[in-house]
Amino acid sequence: MTETMTYPLRLPRSIKKAVEQQSREDGTSINQFVATAVAEKLSALRTAEFFAGRRERADFKAFDKLMKRRGGKPPRAGDEMPGPQSKRAPQRSRTRDT
């Protein structure tokens, strides 16, 4: 099990009341709710940092060259470029009329 620490947390009354209500609805403790919320926020921040780093290393000229090459297979249904660039006809509904 992960070692835990105690951290006194001051919340505005309105937020504490909302946390109490939500944790009650979720069937969790306030502590578990807050710990999960903090973990989700950290995950979102780290994900954003990861993609920002990937964007900095991106070679957009090479990407554009790759996308403009000729040949290969046409895109799968649903993977077409949006707008006037798409050369495929709109997909018909797959439901049957009865």
If one counts the domains in the chain, the total is: 1
Domain-located, residue 56: yes
Domain carrying residue 50: 13-68
How far is the C-alpha of 70 from the C-alpha of 29, rounded, in Å? 58
How far is the C-alpha of 91 from the C-alpha of 95, rounded, in Å? 12
Domain-located, residue 86: no
Domain-located, residue 58: yes
Taking residues 60-67, what's their average pLDDT? 90
* Each residue's pLDDT tens digit, 12-62: 999 999 999 999 999 999 999 999 999 999 999 999 999 999 999 999 999
Q: Supply 54's token pair.
A: 């990937």
How far is the C-alpha of 58 from the C-alpha of 51, rounded, in Å? 10
**HSE, side-chain direction, 13 A CA sphere, residue 52:** 6
Domain-located, residue 36: yes
